[in-house]
C-alpha cells in the first residue's frame, strides 16, 4: 500500500471515532457511506484552508496539525479559534449565511485533513435519518462552542478564561505561539505571561 | 370552552405554516403530530418567562407578539435578540450547552406561544426524519443569525447597522421602545435618534 492510502485509512478511523462520540446511535452502514465521501488533503505549515473574502462550502476534519482562525480588524489580527487534531472545522459563517468568509483559516503546523463539501453532506442528511441526527448534533456542538466563547468573553475574567483554556487545551500551550493564545483569550501578552508565571 | 379549543387549533395551524417556511420539505403528518403535542401559553406584556440562571426544558414557538432576549452586564441591560411571530426560541444557552442561562426572555407585547418539552421533542426527533431535520435547520439558523450579528458589530458602522436593521425589521419601529433598538444595535439612544432623523 502507498503511504497516502495508509494515511487515509488511519485518519478515516479517527474521523469515525469522532463522529461516533458525537452521535453514538448512528447506523454503521450509513456512517461508512458518509466517511467514504471524505477526501484527504495535506497542508504545509502556514497555508490557508480558507481565505477571508472567499466563499467556502467545506467541512474539514483535522487528522493532524493545528488550524488558527483569525480576522483582521483595524490592521490587527484577532485569533478567533485554535483547532487541533481530532476536531472538525468548517467555514460556518460562509456556509450558513451564504456570505463570504471574514476569517482566514491557517495551519500553524504541517497538517493533514479530511474534507467534504457541505452540499454533499446535506444530500446524505436528506437520505439517511441517522446521518440527519448526526448533522443536528454536530451543528449543536459547534454552536455550543461558539456561544460558550461569547459567554466567557462577556462574563469571565482574564484569569478564569486562562484557567479554562489550560483545562481544555493544555497541550496547545507548547505548540502555539503565545501571542496567538493571548489574542484568542482577549488579553495582552504581558497579562498572559503574568498568568502563566502564577 | 369550545372557543378555547378552536383557538388552539388556529394557533397550531399557524405554527405549521411558520415551520413550513423554515423547513419546506417537512412531512405533513409528522408536522401535524408535532403541532398536536404543543401546549398554549399566554405571556403578559413585560413578563419575564425565562430567567437568567435557569435551565431550559422547553422549545417555544411565537405565534403572536414579541420577545426580547437580554442579559445584564455591569448593571446595564443589553438586548441581544428581538423575535416576533414566527420566531422559535430553541437555541437557549442552557439547551445547547447544558449550563445555566445567562439571558432573560421577556415579552414586549401580550404574547402567545406554543411550547413543547425538550423530552417530547427528542422523542419526535428519534421517530421522524423530517422533524430531526427541522431541529437541525432551526439551530443552523440560530447559529447564522448569531454569527451575522457578531460580524455586524465587528465590521459595520453604527449607520450601516441601523440601515441593515431598517431593511430587515422596519415593522418593529412602531412596536418597540427605541431604547431596546439602540441597545440591540449597540449604539446610544442619541445616536439612534440622529440616524432616524437623517432618513
A107 is written with which cell numbers? 495551519
**Res. A194: pLDDT tops 60:** yes
**Res. A133: pLDDT tops 90:** yes
Mutation site for B-interface testing, chosen from A53, A135, A148, A164 by largest number of B Cβ within 10 Å: A135
Q: What radius of gyration, in Å, describes the C-alpha atoms of chain B?
A: 18
- ipTM score of complex: 0.92
Which of A108, A130, A107, A116 lies closest to A176 in space, CA to CA? A108
Phi, psi angles (nearest 5°) of residue B105: -115, 120
Model confidence over A142-170: pLDDT tens digits? Answer: 999 988 988 998 899 999 999 999 998 98
Q: What is the pLDDT of residue A74?
A: 87
Contacting residues of B for A133, CB less than 8 Å apart: 125-126, 132
Q: What is the pLDDT of residue A2?
A: 64
Q: What is the pLDDT of residue B90?
A: 86
A46 by Cβ neighbours in 10 Å (0-12 / 13-18 / 19+) ranks as exposed
Q: Which residues of A touch B (CB under 8 A)?
A: 71, 73, 92-93, 96-97, 99, 102, 125-126, 129, 132-133, 135-136, 139-140, 142-144, 146-148, 150-151, 154-155
Residue B116 host element (H or E)? strand B111-117
Contacting residues of B for A148, CB less than 8 Å apart: 97, 99
Which of A126, A139, A131 lies closest to A33 in space, CA to CA? A131
β pairing state of B104-107 and B48-50? antiparallel
**Res. A38: pLDDT tops 80:** yes
| B15 vs A195: which has the higher pLDDT | B15
Model confidence over A65-85: pLDDT tens digits? Answer: 999 999 998 889 999 999 999
**Res. A103: pLDDT tops 70:** yes
DSSP result, B33-56: HHHHT-EEEEE-TT-EEE-TT---
A77 is written with which cell numbers? 489580527
Please give the model's pTM, rounded to 2 decimal places.
Answer: 0.93
**Res. A174: pLDDT tops 70:** yes
Which of A41, A60, A64 lies closest to A121 in space, CA to CA? A60
User: Do the Cβ atoms of B191 and A138 come closer than 8 Å?
Assistant: no
Average pLDDT (A96-100) is: 93
Model confidence over B131-168: pLDDT tens digits? Answer: 999 999 999 998 999 899 889 988 999 999 999 999 98
Q: What is the pLDDT of residue A1?
A: 56
User: Which residue ranges of chain B lie beneath pLDDT 70?
Assistant: 1-5
Residue B61: partners with Cβ closer than 8 Å, 6 or more residues away = B15, B18, B19, B38, B87, B88, B89, B113, B114, B115, B116
Amino acid at each position: 500500500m502507498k503511504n497516502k492510502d495508509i494515511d487515509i485509512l488511519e485518519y478515516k478511523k479517527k474521523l469515525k471515532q469522532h463522529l461516533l462520540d458525537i452521535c453514538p446511535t448512528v447506523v454503521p452502514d450509513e456512517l461508512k457511506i458518509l466517511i467514504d465521501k471524505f477526501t484527504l488533503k495535506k497542508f504545509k505549515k502556514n497555508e490557508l484552508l480558507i481565505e477571508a473574502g472567499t466563499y467556502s462550502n467545506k467541512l474539514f476534519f483535522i487528522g493532524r496539525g493545528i488550524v488558527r482562525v483569525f480576522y483582521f480588524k483595524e490592521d490587527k489580527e484577532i485569533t478567533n479559534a485554535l483547532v487541533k487534531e481530532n476536531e472538525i472545522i468548517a467555514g460556518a459563517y460562509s456556509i450558513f449565511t451564504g456570505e463570504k468568509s471574514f476569517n482566514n483559516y491557517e495551519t500553524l503546523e504541517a497538517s493533514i485533513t479530511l474534507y467534504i463539501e457541505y452540499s454533499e453532506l446535506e444530500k446524505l442528511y436528506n437520505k439517511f435519518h441517522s446521518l440527519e441526527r448526526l448533522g443536528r448534533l454536530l451543528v449543536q456542538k459547534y454552536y455550543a462552542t461558539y456561544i460558550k466563547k461569547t459567554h466567557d468573553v462577556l462574563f469571565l475574567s482574564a484569569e478564569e478564561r486562562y484557567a479554562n483554556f489550560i483545562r481544555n487545551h493544555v497541550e496547545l500551550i507548547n505548540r502555539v505561539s503565545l501571542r496567538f493564545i493571548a489574542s484568542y483569550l482577549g488579553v495582552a501578552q504581558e497579562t498572559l505571561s503574568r498568568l502563566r508565571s502564577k | 370552552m369550545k372557543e378555547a379549543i378552536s383557538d388552539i387549533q388556529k394557533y397550531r395551524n399557524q405554527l405549521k405554516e411558520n415551520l413550513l417556511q423554515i423547513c419546506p420539505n417537512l412531512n405533513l403528518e409528522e408536522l401535524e403530530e408535532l403541532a398536536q403535542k404543543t401546549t398554549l401559553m399566554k405571556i403578559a406584556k413585560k413578563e419575564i418567562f425565562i430567567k437568567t440562571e435557569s435551565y431550559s426544558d422547553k422549545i417555544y414557538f411565537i405565534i403572536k407578539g414579541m420577545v426580547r432576549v437580554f442579559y445584564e452586564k455591569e448593571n446595564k441591560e443589553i438586548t441581544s435578540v428581538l423575535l416576533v411571530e414566527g420566531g422559535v426560541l430553541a437555541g437557549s444557552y442552557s439547551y445547547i450547552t447544558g449550563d445555566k442561562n445567562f439571558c432573560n426572555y421577556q415579552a414586549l407585547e401580550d404574547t402567545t406561544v406554543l411550547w413543547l418539552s425538550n423530552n417530547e421533542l427528542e422523542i419526535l426527533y428519534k421517530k421522524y426524519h423530517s422533524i430531526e431535520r427541522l431541529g437541525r435547520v432551526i439551530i443552523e439558523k440560530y447559529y447564522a443569525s448569531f454569527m451575522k450579528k457578531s460580524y455586524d458589530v465587528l465590521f459595520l458602522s453604527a449607520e450601516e447597522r441601523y440601515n441593515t436593521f431598517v431593511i430587515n425589521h422596519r415593522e418593529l419601529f412602531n412596536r418597540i421602545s427605541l431604547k431596546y433598538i439602540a441597545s440591540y444595535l449597540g449604539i446610544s439612544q442619541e445616536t439612534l435618534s440622529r440616524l432616524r432623523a437623517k432618513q
